[in-house]
Chains A and B, each alone.
Chain A
Amino acid sequence: MSVLTRTPQFHIARLRGRNNEGVLLGIIALLLLLIAMFSPGTLSPAMFADILRSSVVNMALALGVLLIIISGGIDVSFTAIAIFAAYSTVVLMRSIGLDNGILPFLAAAVIGALLGIINAVLVAGFKLQTLIATLGSQGIVRGALLAFVGSVYISSLPSALAQIGDARLTTIGGSAVSVLVIPVILLAVGLAVVLRKTMFGRSIYAIGGAPESARRAGIRVGRVQTVIYIAAGALSGFAGMVHVALVGHASPFELVGTELTVIAAVVIGGASDAGGRGSVQGVALGVVLLALIQNSLVRLGVPGFWHTAVVGVVILLGVAIQAQSRRRRSKRSTILESAVTA
């Protein structure tokens, strides 16, 4: 019967990582090299702290998006859910006079999960295409926030929450590392474990790769989707609260509008827009890469008016590299097939 010998290029492929993690690391190293050449003074430990800081919220948001993208969907409502959950939590805390540092994060996650039910109903219940469902829910959630919860900038948070936002885990080269990095890292690691090691996680990949096959294998597709959208809602709510705590104020107009950037980070990190692929490690690299670029433009002395264009070029490079490697993979498949026939 057929014999498949492992060819050498197969091992090289492994080095690149299934989601091109290796390539991403390469690009990040290249950017650092550029900074070292053009602005050596700024390449300091503090810079890493800054990048960490600006990655935290996007990372938390990206985790939920990753779940949905792996399952074969796309989500444009998560920023609306995030800011709805966080802002209404702050409003609620002020109105009942609650002052606590931990509860608001839980409350925001719960509100996010409840909002996630809207997406779950539309996607798992009504079988709407995910882009349509989340376009609709984005409008509903954002409109409800501004119409019914509030539309004013809240400049000071309840003090315990403000303290959490200001609390430093450590200081690297004069730049603070917020304690909020810890829960986000824990969530990321937890999600990575769930995705790799649990049946639920593998079911998400299975559904993303071949939904009908998943159903035939006995996976409860609707149930898994329901959990995904609720979990993504909870992650978004939590991320919204991290954002609010970090910036020290609550504005209902923030976050919405950044969804495409987060999706770009997830995809640059190797998640396939067609579903069934992606990893937490890859997403972390994607988020860091985008943060690094945004944080390097000033350092590299790129004139302010050119910042957006440069970010566009880098996103283009990122998605092009992922596309090329996917092409190579499908070519490899024919090479392997020919190895069999020879």
Chain B
Amino acid sequence: MTDNPVVLRARGIDKSYGGVHALADADLEIRAGEVHCLAGANGSGKSTLIKILSGVEAPDRGEIEIAGTVTSKLSVVGSISHGIQVIYQDLSLFPNLTVAENVAMTTRVAGRARIISITAARELTLTVMKRLELDIDPDALLEELSVAQRQLVAICRAIANDVRVLFMDEPTTALTWNEVGTLFQVVSALKADGVAIVFVSHKTEEVFALSDRITVLRNGKVVAVGGVAEFDRDSLVEALIGRQELEERIVSSDVHDSPVLEVNSISAPGLFAEISFTAHAGEIIGLTGLMGSGRSEVADAIFGIIPFTSGRVAVDGHDIRSGDVASAISAGIAYVPSDRLTQGIFLDQAISRNLVASSISSLANKLGWLRPKAIRAGVDKLIDELSLKVGSPDDPVSSLSGGNQQRVVIGKWLATNPRVLVLNGPTVGVDIGSKAAILQILREKAAQGITVLLISDDVPELVSVCHRVLVVRRGRLVDEIASQNVTVEAVRERSIA
């Protein structure tokens, strides 16, 4: 691999956003036909580096060398015409256009097309989808697709072009395991064609399974570069966060017998059917299954976002009205949703406002007037309890790193003194350091008698905190792995089956 010619090289890249130094003197070298992993904790600058190499952002300093020319800044069209393609972390697709138009868009822009042909776009799309063994209606509007399908469309769009360097910014977060498998096959095929692939992932297993070389970023600086053989799990984790990862199974034996959350045979047509389980005070229950198995929908239904048509959900014996978030909250359920940025936080609002958002009524007197002192005390307590790294509570929550933002979401719910804490993928896209902190919070809350329902497909994470793990498949609860049997192997085996 190291003999292959360099197709893209970045040297001494610096980039600041206001006060945030996102990249500091970062170098990156990409060779033809390699799979290059760009690793780093949240906010370490991976996405920023990709945006600079695709011409979306201009670096403050540094140079980019591509195809024998050196520049201080690429244009988007320039990068595309040099065969650079990106699957962005947020996909960057067009919800209001059809699948075919989405797939064909970049090729047309780069080709300076003036007139477009729907049929040609459709054909292009079908060709690419055949290659990926996909069957998505090219005439469907993108907004009608599921998140996983959109992810696949983004992949189609990237490889529909004449691609020489393919950046994939966390492309697997929304995919099921078999979709990930197909993606890996495509990656191998592209690699065989001499395409360079730059791959961002927080999943260490993926990193080792796929990459030839690894570049590790920390706080905007490159802290390690080398062939995959030069790393092992521990050294990678150390490079990522500068210390060893703790992911052993720490589960308290302090579970009470009293049932707190009772889910009794709830169904929602087309989503899930006859789900039943009981969770006790102090218990952390894992809920896992393939993407699209219905596990997220079960969580949504318990919180009242999706109505269930039969069965009942009760907290401490009190029934919750189907499809009524307010009744779930007043029964003591708290919910950390899967999409932090759009569902979890109010991005431009102050950290303090985010922290009180769920407990407004308890912070107001009978006439609806807020009690400023109570608010300030509550906010300070939470910041302390969650060890949030904040400048001032009046700063916008957008000024926080991803891990801290996620802790704000959890804190917002802790302020309501919940009986049941439901978390949907709380550590997705969160770096290892924050992840450990979040899992520790869950353990502490369980120890205080809160019931925790953790929806996740991160098996080591489930193993590390859960007393029991429930497995959902095709909308049904198919398995329960009891405490003594919770191991990485067991969970993985049973949820794939």
- B94 in the interface (beta carbon within 8 A): yes
- B101 in the interface (beta carbon within 8 A): yes
Known: A1-B134, A199-B108, A338-B270. A205 touches B144 (CB 8 A): no
- B450 in the interface (beta carbon within 8 A): no
Q: Are B97 and A205 in contact (CB under 8 A)?
A: yes
What is the CB-to-nearest-CB distance from A319 to chain B, in angstroms, rounded to a whole number?
19
- B80 in the interface (beta carbon within 8 A): yes
Q: Given the complex of chains A and B, what is the CA–CA distance between A338 and B301 in angstroms?
A: 14
Q: Are B135 and A2 in contact (CB under 8 A)?
A: yes
Q: Given the complex of chains A and B, what is the CA–CA distance between A202 and B294 in angstroms?
A: 36
Q: Are B133 and A337 in contact (CB under 8 A)?
A: no
For A335, the chain B residues whose CB sits under 8 A away are: 270
Q: Given the complex of chains A and B, what is the CA–CA distance between A126 and B56 in angstroms?
A: 19
What is the CB-to-nearest-CB distance from A232 to chain B, in angstroms, rounded to a whole number?
20
- A96 in the interface (beta carbon within 8 A): no
Q: Are B146 and A206 in contact (CB under 8 A)?
A: no
Q: Are B109 and A218 in contact (CB under 8 A)?
A: yes
- A3 in the interface (beta carbon within 8 A): yes
- Identify the stretch in B85-93, B307-315, B415-423 within 8 Å (CB) of chain A at 4 or more residues: B85-93
- Identify the stretch in B38-46, B111-119, B209-217 within 8 Å (CB) of chain A at 4 or more residues: B111-119
What is the CB-to-nearest-CB distance from A178 to chain B, in angstroms, rounded to a whole number?
33
Known: A1-B178, A217-B92, A333-B143. A342 touches B54 (CB 8 A): no
For A206, the chain B residues whose CB sits under 8 A away are: 94, 97, 105
Greatest chain A CB density within 10 A among B135, B144, B294 is at B144
Q: Are B115 and A340 in contact (CB under 8 A)?
A: no
Known: A198-B116, A215-B76, A217-B109. A338 touches B271 (CB 8 A): yes
Q: Given the complex of chains A and B, what is the CA–CA distance between A336 and B270 in angstroms?
A: 10
From 186 to 221 in chain A, residues with beta carbon under 8 angstroms from any chain B beta carbon are 197-200, 202, 205-206, 208-210, 212-219
Q: Given the complex of chains A and B, what is the CA–CA distance between A216 and B101 in angstroms?
A: 15
Q: Are A205 and B94 in contact (CB under 8 A)?
A: yes
Q: Are B94 and A218 in contact (CB under 8 A)?
A: no
Greatest chain B CB density within 10 A among A3, A338, A339 is at A338
For B145, the chain A residues whose CB sits under 8 A away are: 4, 333, 336-337
Q: Are A199 and B116 in contact (CB under 8 A)?
A: yes
For A205, the chain B residues whose CB sits under 8 A away are: 94, 96-97
Q: Are A216 and B88 in contact (CB under 8 A)?
A: yes
Q: Given the complex of chains A and B, what is the CA–CA distance between A208 and B182 in angstroms?
A: 33
Indicate which residue in A199, A208, A277 contacts B109 across the interface (CB closer than 8 Å). A199
For B116, the chain A residues whose CB sits under 8 A away are: 197-199, 202
Q: Are B106 and A217 in contact (CB under 8 A)?
A: yes
Consensus secondary structure, chain B interface = loop
Q: Are B105 and A337 in contact (CB under 8 A)?
A: no
Indicate which residue in A1, A213, A338, A342 contacts B94 across the interface (CB closer than 8 Å). A213
- B132 in the interface (beta carbon within 8 A): yes
Indicate which residue in A209, A212, A219, A337 contacts B97 across the interface (CB closer than 8 Å). A209
- Interface membership of chain A positions 239-265, coded 1 if the CB is closer than 8 angstroms to chain B and 0 otherwise: 000000000000000000000000000
Known: A4-B137, A6-B137, A199-B109. A212 touches B92 (CB 8 A): yes
Q: Are B146 and A218 in contact (CB under 8 A)?
A: no
- B466 in the interface (beta carbon within 8 A): no
Q: Given the complex of chains A and B, what is the CA–CA distance between A193 and B94 in angstroms?
A: 21
Q: Are A216 and B86 in contact (CB under 8 A)?
A: yes
From 293 to 342 in chain A, residues with beta carbon under 8 angstroms from any chain B beta carbon are 329-330, 332-333, 335-342
Known: A199-B109, A340-B292, A341-B271. A209 touches B96 (CB 8 A): yes
Q: Are B95 and A209 in contact (CB under 8 A)?
A: yes
What is the CB-to-nearest-CB distance from A281 to chain B, in angstroms, rounded to a whole number?
16
Indicate which residue in B80, B109, B115, B152 contacts A2 across the interface (CB closer than 8 Å). B152
Q: Are A217 and B76 in contact (CB under 8 A)?
A: yes
Indicate which residue in A2, A212, A213, A333 contacts B134 across the interface (CB closer than 8 Å). A2
For B182, the chain A residues whose CB sits under 8 A away are: 1
From 56 to 85 in chain B, residues with beta carbon under 8 angstroms from any chain A beta carbon are 56, 75-77, 80
- Interface membership of chain B positions 142-167, coded 1 if the CB is closer than 8 angstroms to chain A and 0 otherwise: 01111011001000000000000000
For B108, the chain A residues whose CB sits under 8 A away are: 199, 202
Q: Given the complex of chains A and B, what is the CA–CA distance between A7 and B108 in angstroms?
A: 31
For A116, the chain B residues whose CB sits under 8 A away are: none
Q: Are A209 and B144 in contact (CB under 8 A)?
A: no
- B293 in the interface (beta carbon within 8 A): yes
- A64 in the interface (beta carbon within 8 A): no
- B496 in the interface (beta carbon within 8 A): no
What is the CB-to-nearest-CB distance from B330 to chain A, in angstroms, rounded to a whole number?
26
Known: A2-B135, A199-B114, A341-B292. A332 touches B144 (CB 8 A): yes
Q: Are B95 and A276 in contact (CB under 8 A)?
A: yes
Greatest chain A CB density within 10 A among B80, B145, B179 is at B145
- B110 in the interface (beta carbon within 8 A): yes
What is the CB-to-nearest-CB distance from A195 to chain B, in angstroms, rounded to a whole number?
11
Q: Given the complex of chains A and B, what is the CA–CA distance between A108 and B195 in angstroms?
A: 54
- B136 in the interface (beta carbon within 8 A): yes
For B132, the chain A residues whose CB sits under 8 A away are: 1
Q: Are B93 and A210 in contact (CB under 8 A)?
A: yes
Q: Given the complex of chains A and B, what is the CA–CA distance between A340 and B143 in angstroms?
A: 15
- B192 in the interface (beta carbon within 8 A): no
Indicate which residue in B97, B109, B140, B270 contacts A4 across the interface (CB closer than 8 Å). B140
Q: Given the complex of chains A and B, what is the CA–CA distance between A2 and B151 in angstroms?
A: 12
Q: Given the complex of chains A and B, what is the CA–CA distance between A341 and B136 in angstroms?
A: 14
Q: Are B56 and A215 in contact (CB under 8 A)?
A: yes
Q: Are A218 and B136 in contact (CB under 8 A)?
A: no
Q: Given the complex of chains A and B, what is the CA–CA distance between A277 and B141 in angstroms?
A: 12
Known: A199-B114, A209-B94, A276-B96. A2 touches B76 (CB 8 A): no
Q: Given the complex of chains A and B, what is the CA–CA distance between A272 and B96 in angstroms?
A: 11
- B474 in the interface (beta carbon within 8 A): yes
For B109, the chain A residues whose CB sits under 8 A away are: 199, 217-219
Looking across the interface, which residue of chain A has its beta carbon closest to that of B76?
A: A218
Known: A199-B113, A199-B114. A277 touches B96 (CB 8 A): yes
Q: Are A216 and B96 in contact (CB under 8 A)?
A: no
Q: Are B179 and A1 in contact (CB under 8 A)?
A: yes
Q: Given the complex of chains A and B, what is the CA–CA distance between A332 and B143 in angstroms?
A: 10
- B475 in the interface (beta carbon within 8 A): yes
For A342, the chain B residues whose CB sits under 8 A away are: 270, 474-475
For B88, the chain A residues whose CB sits under 8 A away are: 216
What is the CB-to-nearest-CB distance from B277 to chain A, in angstroms, rounded to a whole number?
20
Q: Given the complex of chains A and B, what is the CA–CA distance between A342 and B269 in angstroms?
A: 10
Q: Given the complex of chains A and B, what is the CA–CA distance between A218 and B149 in angstroms?
A: 23
Q: List 7 A-B contacts (CB under 8 A).
A: A1-B133, A197-B116, A202-B105, A210-B96, A217-B109, A218-B110, A339-B270
Having A2-B135, A336-B145, A340-B149, one finds 15 other A-B pairs with CB under 8 Å, namely A1-B134, A2-B179, A4-B137, A197-B116, A198-B116, A199-B115, A202-B97, A206-B97, A209-B95, A214-B94, A217-B106, A218-B80, A333-B143, A338-B270, A340-B146
| Top 6 A-B residue pairs of the complex, sorted by shortest distance between their CB atoms | A209-B96, A276-B96, A338-B270, A213-B92, A218-B109, A218-B76
